[in-house]
Amino acid sequence: LPVVAIVGRPNVGKSTLFNRLVGKKLALVDDRPGVTRDRREGDAHLLGVDFKVIDTAGFEDEDPQSLPGRMRAQTEAAVREADVALFLIDARAGLVPLDEEIGRWLRAEDTPVVLAVNKAEGRAGEQGAIEAMALGFGEPILLSAEHGEGVADLFTALLPYIDRPDDEPEVDVDEEEEARSGPLKLAIVGRPNAGKSTLVNRILGEDRMITGPEAGITRDSIAIDMDWQGRPVRLIDTAGMRKRANVTDKLEKLSVADARRAVDFAEVVVLLLDATRGLEAQDLKIADAVLQEGRALIIALNKWDVAENASSLFNGVRAALEEGLAQVKGLPVLTVSAVTGKGIDTLIKVAFETREAWSRRVPTGELNRWFEAAMERNPPPAPGGKRIKPRYLTQVKTRPPSFVLFGTRVDLLPESYRRYLVNGIRRDLGFGAVPVRLTVRAPKN
Ligand code: GDP
């Protein structure tokens, strides 16, 4: 089950909330600070979603003014194990230094944080919410754990972390890390005669080209493991992916099919263009196929050694890409010569960097600080007078980076606004030109 850890200084109402969520009087509640002792865990069931709740109140020590070592260590362990930390503040007491201290170390953790202001009945709530904004976790949820108010809002905020869409498998961070440090899986695709074989040969060094399927790992692909300046690279040779005998008049079509197959094996795909021909419609189809599959794409202009009018050629390709592939602005465009070897170092270096961006995970705090600012700069529209209230943005996976936007009526957000967010995420949060996916989820009330 997904795990929610309730975190906060003593007496903010963690145990009351725990009881409310778990529905049983498992934790002993008392007005005196630090009255609960043991770690409490229970299963909660809210609006069809099951999750586990950990009440960290049990870790509290006698002194409510500090965060003693034992409590902190235990709480940290609970937070690390959790899918989301529910950080509780007391509206009536306002923000105290200990809240700020807890906020500081929560920010240093990787676990996403949902901030809630408890005891928020009446006026106290507003004041508490304003103060809590200073913690930098975005707008807090207003709660009264004792009176059961705000639980629906709380649920809405927790949902992205506790209810993964079926098609988004649970993220295994270790696996991600491993994939990142493993060999760079690189495919070179492009139209016939762009120079793919020549480039592969050049990268491999002389005479190492493997041309028949017999040398391949599977029937359909030829993967060549090699080292590039000490870093492992697995080169996916698309030219070897089909029997050369079949290649006749269908060549142009085949290059798109090649690209489709290559992406099954590749992390980063290089679309090789023949600089003497520029960008043609078929190239855009290949590029589109690669991006549709969520792979990172690099454009390389080959035969640069014989290119004429280099700068106008380069700019022309750039402009055609911007126009033809509106979904991804600013794709890296590099120039190479497979024959002389010029530009290949840079190409592979950029491929590694691109994989890094493609595998990047943005901490939720950073993401939502960006998100608040982005909404302030350009508030969401209100189609037909209906207010759309986006609340949280969360990254559900990497490779490709995929985000879920959560909030009231976000399903009504026009395409232009989604694109505004996607482009901003790319530009501001270190994704460069890798394809970024955004889905929206509006809670059903
Ligand atoms: P593929 O069909 O994409 O694998 O293309 P090839 O690698 O077979 O290359 C097609 C033609 O372009 C061959 O005649 C190559 O010698 C030539 N070629 C490939 N790369 C370069 C380059 O960087 N500069 C020049 N001048 N010719 C190249």
Q: 358, 374, 393: which is the final residue of a domain?
A: 358
Q: What is the pLDDT of residue 218?
A: 36
Confidence band, pLDDT 50/70/90 cuts, at residue 255: low
pLDDT at 395: 85
Q: What is the mean pLDDT of residues 287-296?
A: 89
**Residue that wins the pLDDT comparison between 179 and 430:** 430
> Do 215 and 93 share a structural domain?
no
The answer to whether position 73 is within a domain reads yes
- Residue 286 near ligand 1, beta carbon < 6 Å: no
Q: Is the pLDDT of residue 60 over 60?
A: no
Q: Which of 316, 341, 358 is the last residue of a domain?
A: 358
Q: How far apart are CA 237 and CA 243, in angstroms?
A: 12
The pair of structure tokens assigned to 271 is 């679309």
Does residue 114 line the site of ligand 1, with CB under 6 A?
no
Are residues 398 and 284 part of one domain?
no
Is any atom of ligand 1 closer than 6 Å to the C-beta of 302? Answer: yes
Q: Quote the percentage of the chain above a pLDDT of 90.
A: 27
The rounded distance, in Å, linking the Cα atoms of 437 and 445 is 26
Number of the ligand 1 atom closest to the C-alpha atom of 201: 7
Together in a domain, 344 and 368:
no
CATH code: domain of residue 399: 3.30.300.20
- CA 213/CA 200 separation, integer angstroms: 16
Same domain, 152 and 86: yes
In the predicted structure, residue 249 carries a pLDDT above the cut 50? no
Number of domains in the chain: 3
Is 310 known to sit in a ligand binding site?
Answer: no
Predicted local distance difference test score (pLDDT) of residue 354: 94
With beta carbons less than 8 A apart as the criterion, state whether 338 and 370 touch.
no
Of the residues 139, 162, 185, which one is the last residue of a structural domain? 162
- The pLDDT tens digits of the residues spanning 196-241 come to 888 988 888 744 544 433 433 333 446 778 888 888 898 886 654 4
Rounded mean pLDDT, 345-350: 95
103 annotated ligand binder: no
Q: Flag whether 170 is in a domain.
A: no
| Residue 339 is assigned to a structural domain of this protein | yes
Please check whether residues 354 and 369 belong to one and the same domain: no
Instruction: Give the CATH number for residue 57.
Output: 3.40.50.300
Note whether 146 and 182 are same-domain residues: no
Let me know whether 368 and 354 are in one domain: no
Say yes or no: 158 and 212 in one domain.
Answer: no
Please report the atom of ligand 1 found closest to the CA of residue 272: 3
Residue 66: predicted pLDDT:
54
Those residues whose C-beta lies under 8 Å from the C-beta of residue 224, and which sit 6 or more positions away, are 200, 204, 208, 210, 234, 235, 237
Q: Which domain holds residue 247?
A: 175-358
Q: Verify that 256 and 210 share a domain, yes or no.
A: yes
The share of the chain scoring above pLDDT 70, in percent, equals 79
- Predicted TM-score (pTM) of this structure: 0.62
Tell me, using a 6 A CB cutoff, whether residue 201 lines ligand 1: no
Stretch 254-265: mean pLDDT, rounded?
A: 71
d(CA 312, CA 346): 21
> Do 179 and 138 share a structural domain?
no
**Same-domain status, 370 and 354:** no
Mutate to test the pocket of ligand 1, among 189, 191, 193 (most ligand atoms within 8 A of CB): 193
Within a domain: residue 169? no
CA atoms within 13 A on the CB side of 390: 28
Confidence of residue 138 (pLDDT cuts 50, 70, 90): confident
- Among 80-84, 247-251, 253-257, 261-265, the range scoring the smallest mean pLDDT is 247-251
Dist. CA 44 → ligand 1 center (Å): 63
pLDDT in tens, 412-443: 999 999 999 999 999 899 898 899 999 888 76
For a pocket test of ligand 1, which of 188, 193, 197, 198 has the largest count of ligand atoms closer than 8 A to its C-beta? 198
Q: Taking residues 272-291, what's their average pLDDT?
A: 89
Looking at residues 389-399, what average pLDDT do you find? 85
